[in-house]
Amino acid sequence: MERAQVVTLKGKPITLIGPELTVGDFAPDFQVVAQASLVDEEMKIMSLNDFAGKIKVISVTPSLDTPVCDLQIHNFNEEASTFPDDVAVINISMDLPFAIHRFCATSGIDKVIALSDYRFASFGTNWGVLIKELRLLTRALFIVDKENVIQYIEIVPDTTQAPDYERALNALKQLIHNE
């Protein structure tokens, strides 16, 4: 499924591949690759089940090596230290697992679980955030409860802009309070 006119890149319309998810939908499964170093080349495959029983904050970025993506993962890394243990903060991009490892190691990212969708593009396709023209993920935020029901969605209108952190964090705080 292709969806045009949903988001732009610097004002130019781009096409998203996958369904338009809504709050209340069950979170689709995915297969992504954990970050890896040149010493540890395991590149473990992870899925939604790896976060069972947790609230999931899923930060989606096009590439960590860009200023807005860097800011996004840093903001969530800083906030993650204030969340209860049953909240998993995840960042998913199309960056290679080695690049993610390098970025996290040099940037002090230690609270966000940074994952790569490069191999299968199953997160992007299943969650409707894969940019057809670039094979990158569009900028988005999802909050998923412990039962894997989507409670919050923000697909950022222009992929070069930052998400609404305050709105997302307020939604997360409300969900934590209600759990």
7, 34, 60, 69: which one is catalytic?
Answer: 69
Return the half-sphere exposure (C-beta side, CA atoms, 13 A cut-off) of residue 54: 16
As given in the structure block, the two tokens for residue 23 are 């709050």
Give the burial string for 12-35 (b: 16+ CB within 10 Å, else e).
eebebbbeebeeeeebbebbbbbb
Give catalytic status of residue 104 as yes or no: no
Dihedral of alpha carbons 85, 150, 70, 135, sign: positive
Torsion of CA 14, 18, 20, 21, to 10 degrees: -130
The tokens describing 60, both together, are: 């989606």
Name the residue with tokens 């997360």: 172
Tokens of 13: 């319309």
Bridge partners for 153 per DSSP: 142
- Give the catalytic positions in this structure: 69
